[in-house]
Amino acid sequence: MNNKKLPNVPEVTQDQFTEIMSVVKNLCKKNLNEEYYELAQELTAKLARKRPSPLLSGRPNTWAAGIIHALGMVNFLFDKSQAPYLSSKDLSEWFGLSQNTIGAKSKSIRDMFKIRQFDPRWTLPSNLDNNPMVWMIMVNGFIIDARRATYQIQEQAYNAGIIPYIPANKVTV
């Protein structure tokens, strides 16, 4: 997995961060992809920076499983029609943890950061186009799909950091 830019992590949680990411790296190489690894790195760094950091208690393996599960909930990892796909049972077997343990850790992470399904902040980059929550914006008190808005509105939404790119400018292959 490629470490383009390592996130800023406090020294006190650096060891936990490194251990968790080592476990996540192995899983992503074997069963997931680079996008999951990068999002997991970002989420783990957020946990490491939280004061007090919850990573200071608990096993790295359990944190890694909870982080992947939380991201999987956003990105429909457990849906066979999606790629990558990994069943909850396979995830629990890979980590050697019960589904309940992983689910509880995932829920605590999702609650901590208010993460929900279709959460634009935690959507895999390859899924942004298919995530309707990424594109819902408010214009003059009405919620609209930015992909159907005028170029000017798209540009304003992009410049404000509301949408990830200007749909009219995206070149499809």
Q: What share of the chain is helix, strand, coil (3-state, %, to 5)?
A: 60, 5, 35
The confidence score (pLDDT) of residue 173 equals: 38
Q: Which of 27, 11, 30, 12 is nearest to 67 (CA)?
A: 27
The confidence score (pLDDT) of residue 2 equals: 55
The confidence score (pLDDT) of residue 1 equals: 57
The model's pTM: 0.85
Domain spans in the chain, listed from the N-terminal domain onward = 11-116, 131-169
CATH of 11-116, one of 2.60.120.10, 1.10.472.10, 3.40.50.20, 3.40.1360.10: 1.10.472.10
The confidence score (pLDDT) of residue 132 equals: 87
The confidence score (pLDDT) of residue 78 equals: 96
The confidence score (pLDDT) of residue 68 equals: 98
First CA to last CA distance, the chain: 25
Cis ω before 132 (30° cut-off from 0):
no
Low-confidence ranges of the chain (pLDDT < 50): 172-173
